[in-house]
Amino acid sequence: MKGKQFIIVILIAVLLAIGVHFYFNKGRSQQAGALGGQGPMPMPVARCLTQEVVNYNEFTGNLDAVESVDIRARVQGFLRRIAFKDGAFVKKGDLLFEIEPETYQADRDRAFANLKSAESDLVRAQQDYDRIMEAVQTNAVSQQDASRAKAQYAMAEASVLSAKAALAQAELNLGYTQIYSPIDGKISRRYVDVGNLVGASDKTLLATIVQIDPLYVYFYVSESEYLNYQQNLRKNMAEEPNNLPVYISLANDEAYDHQGRLDYMDNRVDPGTGTIQIRGQIPNPQDRLYPGMFVKVRVPVKAVPSALLIPEKAIMTDLGGKYVLVVGENNVLQRRDIKLGGPLDKLRVVTEGLNGDEIFIVGGFAMARPGMPITPMPADGPPSGMMPGSGGQGMPSQPSEKQSPAEASREGGE
């Protein structure tokens, strides 16, 4: 009886061994079928793209108006008229406000009458002086009378000059009752309504006007960045130091669509912060930008004539850092550690680790391992025309209307 039980146990063990063997052989067969049969796994590959890239430094800046004017009441009176709509664009010479003019018209008329009276007194003094000087020749009058006539004539001349000055001031005050725009720009809301007394105690602020196109952008650079600018920009960009391109981006934008020129650099470094102020001028024909906005600023610092770029998707990361899997001898994958520069669209600048001749995988990362043989296949639709065997032609380094040059921000250094 015991012998039969032993035989049954042996048979069960044999059957289990056969089942396990069959199961694993079937799994390997299915895996081999999924990999396309016998042989290395096909994987998409690409080559480096070589082109000129401009390195950029990025800063935070703020916009300011090229011209800004406070409109104030220069004479006292009741505000009679407002000739603009709040927030409108105004031209130089447009009427903005009118203060009641009657008082100043009366002052002007009074000054004009005083001038006529003074001119009449001058004519009479001139005639008296001429007659007395003739009488002096015949000793008909004394020298004292002659001196008195001369003094009266001089006083009459002074009265005329004073009356002319008073008339000019009266006309000037009358002119201040109508306030015109001194510049082209966008006007604020009115700060005083019609019917209010203005200019009583001080020069009442009525509105402000700021020029919208173009605008200034101000930002600060550190001393080290300034020295780097001096070293690289003048040598590599062949530009005047105060006529270099500058690009800005709004807070909700990714692209640096607004291009201008640097036009001012402060004449000293602030010893408290170790920074120096830079200013650029940005065209704003669509009035999208406004003074006071905070913006991201990008300034070119160095041109790299033959930079290496690879797709972002080809870059892998582990505890050892960034690396790519290149196709080595006999199509065996090899790990290649790299150092990266700045981003460029869907590409990334490689500063160390590649020489430009390598072929690297751009897909199949879940199964790819160093030392694994593969069958290289052209990548489907790689960015910027990057195909195996490409001649290294890429985007030009000159900006188009809506695109800045091929660029790498300071995120990855130079």
The domain that holds 143 is classified in CATH as 1.10.287.470
Q: Are residues 91 and 105 in the same domain?
A: no
Identify the helix (H) or strand (E) that includes residue 327.
strand 321-327
Q: In this predicted structure, what is the pLDDT of residue 380?
A: 61
User: How far apart, in Å, do the first and last CA atoms of the chain sit?
Assistant: 86
Identify the helix (H) or strand (E) that includes residue 162.
helix 143-175
Q: Are residues 363 and 406 in the same domain?
A: yes
Q: In this predicted structure, what is the pLDDT of residue 239?
A: 52
Q: Are residues 74 and 169 in the same domain?
A: no
Q: How far is CA 335 from the centre of its chain?
A: 42
CA atoms within 13 A on the CB side of 75: 24
Tokens representing 164?
A: 């002319």
Are the CB atoms for 34 and 386 separated by under 8 Å?
no
Q: Are residues 115 and 248 in the same domain?
A: no
Q: Are residues 56 and 192 in the same domain?
A: no
265 vs 283: CA distance, rounded Å: 19
Q: Are residues 203 and 289 in the same domain?
A: no
Q: In this predicted structure, what is the pLDDT of residue 392?
A: 32
Query: If 0-12 CB within 10 Å is exposed, 13-18 middle and 19+ buried, where does residue 288 land?
Result: exposed
40 vs 333: CA distance, rounded Å: 11
Q: In this predicted structure, what is the pLDDT of residue 55?
A: 77
Q: Cα-flanking dihedrals φ and ψ of residue 19, to 5°?
A: -65, -45
Where a domain ends, among 185, 210, 235? 210
Q: Are residues 95 and 203 in the same domain?
A: yes
Q: How far is CA 1 from the centre of its chain?
A: 97
Q: For the chain, what's the residue count?
A: 414
91 vs 187: CA distance, rounded Å: 10
107 vs 177: CA distance, rounded Å: 13
Q: Are residues 258 and 402 in the same domain?
A: yes
Q: Domain range for residue 219?
A: 46-63+214-412
Q: Are residues 138 and 252 in the same domain?
A: no
Q: Are residues 322 and 371 in the same domain?
A: yes
Q: In this predicted structure, what is the pLDDT of residue 2?
A: 56
Q: In this predicted structure, what is the pLDDT of residue 226?
A: 83
Number of C-beta neighbours around residue 152 at 10 A: 18
Q: Are residues 330 and 308 in the same domain?
A: yes
Helix-then-strand count for the chain, H and E: 4, 23
Q: 């009479």: which residue's tokens? A: 124
376 vs 379: CA distance, rounded Å: 9
Q: In this predicted structure, what is the pLDDT of residue 401?
A: 37
Tokens representing 404?
A: 């800045």
Task: Please tell me the pTM assigned to this model.
Answer: 0.64
Is 29 within a domain? Answer: no
CA atoms within 13 A on the CB side of 255: 12
Q: What is the mean pLDDT of each run of 10 residues along the chain (414 residues)?
A: 64 68 50 53 89 84 94 94 94 95 94 92 84 75 76 89 94 94 94 92 91 94 82 56 79 83 89 91 90 90 81 90 92 92 81 89 89 85 37 34 44 36
Q: Are residues 201 and 110 in the same domain?
A: no
Q: In this predicted structure, what is the pLDDT of residue 38?
A: 56
Q: What is the CATH number of the domain that holds 368?
A: 2.40.30.170
Are the CB atoms for 395 and 384 separated by under 8 Å?
yes
